[in-house]
Amino acid sequence: MGKRVNILIFGTTPPCQKCLQAEKEARQAAARFPPGEVAVEKQDALSETGQKYGIVITPAVVMNGRVVSAGRLLKEPELVELIRKEMGD
């Protein structure tokens, strides 16, 4: 078993369609792994957390503290691949 993966999805408030879709894709990708191995959390891009990661364009995806995508909608298969790499599988 690899390490736990924490995913932050940064979007706008209220969320735009692309940001909503980004969260949906991430949750679908997380569901392909055993419960508790992948956590997905929605964050506001303008929050302190968003500033910490330098988020200026949405949707943005941060995986275990590293920005993996900004301004582009990652689809479920891409996210699954990134999660697998992050887990070290």
pLDDT (0 to 100) of residue 3: 85
pLDDT in tens, 46-68: 999 999 999 999 999 999 999 99
Q: 54 by DSSP, 3-state: which?
A: coil
Residue-range definition of the domain harbouring residue 54: 5-80
Residue 55 lies in a domain: yes
**Residue 9 token pair:** 């999805």
Q: Is residue 87 in some structural domain?
A: no
- pLDDT digit string, tens, across residues 24-35: 999 999 999 999
Does the CA dihedral 13-18-20-26 come out positive or negative? negative
Which CATH number fits the domain that encloses residue 71? 3.40.30.10
When divided into structural domains, the chain yields a total of 1
- Tokens linked to 52: 């910490």
Percent of the chain clearing pLDDT 70 (strictly above): 97
pTM, two decimals, is: 0.93
